[in-house]
A = this chain, B = another copy of it.
Amino acid sequence: MKMENMTITAQTEVAPKIYRIVLNGPLARELRDPGQFVNIRVGTGIDPTLRRPISICDVDLENEELTMIYRQEGKGTKLLSEKLVGDEINILGPLGQGFPVEVAKKNSTCVLIGGGVGIPPLYYLAKKLVATGANVITILGFRTEKDIFLEEEFNELGQVIVTTEDGSKGMKGYVTDALKSLTSYDVYYTCGPKPMLRAVEITAQSPGYISLEERMGCGVGACLACVCDLTKPNEETGKGYAKICSDGPVFLAGEVIL
C-alpha cells in the first residue's frame, strides 16, 4: 500500500455516466491481486471529506498504469469525471484482499459474474485466469443495451453472456438466469450489487468468491466502518466480523452473511 499522486493518462466515457480512467505512477506496481481497490482523493480541500473506493479493472505493470471504470454516481465521482488528462490525483492503494487466482486449476472452468460497476474488477481477474490456463466464461449483467461496457474486452478472453433487464441486448433477465443455464464449472467469482450477490450465491453450483461493497471511512481497516458479519467466527482471531476494506472486499462464498 502506498499513497501517491498519480497522473491521469486517459479518461473517457465508455457508456452513459460510465467512465474509464487510466492512472500512471509507480504505485501501479504494488498491485498484488485482481479485485483489489484504490481509495481516491477526488478533491484537495476539506470537501469532499472522504476518499472514494474504486476497484482496479486492469493494470499494466510495465508502464505503471492502473485502469479503473466507474459510474458517475454522486458528488465525488462527478468531480473525478471532470478531471483531465495530465491532472494529478492522490491515490491510496492497492487496498484489500483480491480474488484468489491460484484456486483455478489449468483447464478448469471459471465463471465470472458481474453486474454493472461490479464488472470492472473481473476484467483483470479474467486476464490472470486465462494466463494460468483456465477457461473463463463471463456473465455480464446490465439494465439495458446502452449501459454495456467491457463486452468486447471480455470476448477476447472467453465466452461472454450478456444479460439485460429489458432484453434490449443478449439474454433478457438477470445474471442468475444465465448462470442457471451453465451446467458445469469449477469456481465462480462475482461482484455486483448485494441482491445480485445473494441470488448468485444461491444459484451457483460450485464454490465461489464474492466481492462486497460498503461505505468506508479509512479504507485501511482502522475505523470499523465497513464491517460485515462472518458466518462463523474466525478461528485465528476469534472475531465474528470482517472488515471489507482490509479482510475483503473478496470473501469466500458462504464466509460472510450477505
Contact = CB atoms under 8 A, between A and B. Distances in A.
Most buried by B among A43, A45, A46, A47: A45
Copies in the complex: 2
A237 B175 CA distance: 74
A43 B43 CA distance: 12
A47 B48 CA distance: 10
The A contact surface, by secondary structure, is loop
Contacts of A47: 45-47
Contacts of A43: 45
Contacts of A46: 47
A172 B159 CA distance: 84
A43 to B, nearest CB: 7
A78 to B, nearest CB: 12
A162 B43 CA distance: 44
A45 B45 CA distance: 9
Interface in A40-59: 43, 45-47
Nearest to A45: B47
A207 to B, nearest CB: 46
Nearest to A46: B47
A68 B155 CA distance: 58
Interface of A: 43, 45-47
The 5 nearest A-B residue pairs measured at CB: A45-B47, A46-B47, A47-B47, A45-B45, A43-B45
5 contacts: A43-B45, A45-B45, A45-B47, A46-B47, A47-B47
